[in-house]
Structure 1
Amino acid sequence: MSRIVKTPQPPYYAVIFASQRTEGDNGYGKMADKMVELAAKQPGFLGLESARNHELGITVSYWRSLDAIKSWKENSAHQVAQERGKTEWYENFALRVCKVERQHFFEM
């Protein structure tokens, strides 16, 4: 994503996904695009920010509630992507769920 997401007033939740990829694309880019499109249609989805260099990727998705996060985790297409991530695309990853209680934005 190329912009900072404008989220509503807290509280809401952030899911932080940090990962190190395996070599090659192996369909990763196409699936990642599909997951962003699908997540955006999920009830409670507030937005997403993502950055990756050659060593580390970090994606932060924002959600209205823990139930919305649970529904996304249980989405059947997302489960397929999760399994492929474990078997094909990631050397390792970490997933953290946080409650956002305060926020500040700056724009020029």
Structure 2
Amino acid sequence: MYAVIFRAEIAQLDDEYNQMAARMRDLALQEYGCLEFTAVTEGNHEIAISYWRSKEQIRAWKENAGHRLAQQKGRARWYTSYRVQVVEVVREYSA
């Protein structure tokens, strides 16, 4: 299993952002095999973590035309900076 960790410093968020984020989350979950998607905003920071079965699913999601548009708008309007990490989950615990 893999996780994609997206961390960003927010410039400004608006209604279009909220609509786009909801569409992208649904698309990842329904069409690209995302297993779980969680996002939290605190102050001017956002973190989103999504879980995937394969790197191929992550690559396909990254290349989706709607997701590419969301990325462009994020760079131009919504975020001051961002960082994406793709990590392999090597162990998981739960209680």
TM-score when normalising by structure 1: 0.82
The structure 1 residue matched to 2:42, chosen from 17, 36, 53, is: 53
SS of corresponding position for 2:66:
helix
Picking from 32, 46, 54, the partner of 1:65 is 54
How many angstroms apart in 1 are the aligned matches of 2:27 and 2:33?
Answer: 12
Secondary structure at 1:102 match in 2: coil
Match of 2:69 in 1: 80
How many pairs are equivalent?
Answer: 95
Q: Which runs of 4+ in 1 moved over 2 A?
A: none
Equivalent of 1:90, from 69, 79, 87?
79
CA RMSD, 1 decimal: 1.2
- Give the SS at the match of 2:32: coil
Aligned counterpart, 2:12? 23
Query: CA offset at residue 75 of structure 1?
Result: 0.6
Partners of 1:14 and 1:62 lie apart in 2 by 4
How far apart, in 1, do the equivalents of 2:13 and 2:89 lie?
Answer: 35
Higher helix share: 2
CA distance in 1, matches of 2:43, 2:56: 33
Q: Distance in 2 between matches of 1:27 and 1:49?
A: 19
One-letter amino acid matched to 2:47: I
TM-score by length of 2: 0.93
3-state secondary structure, aligned to 1:84:
helix
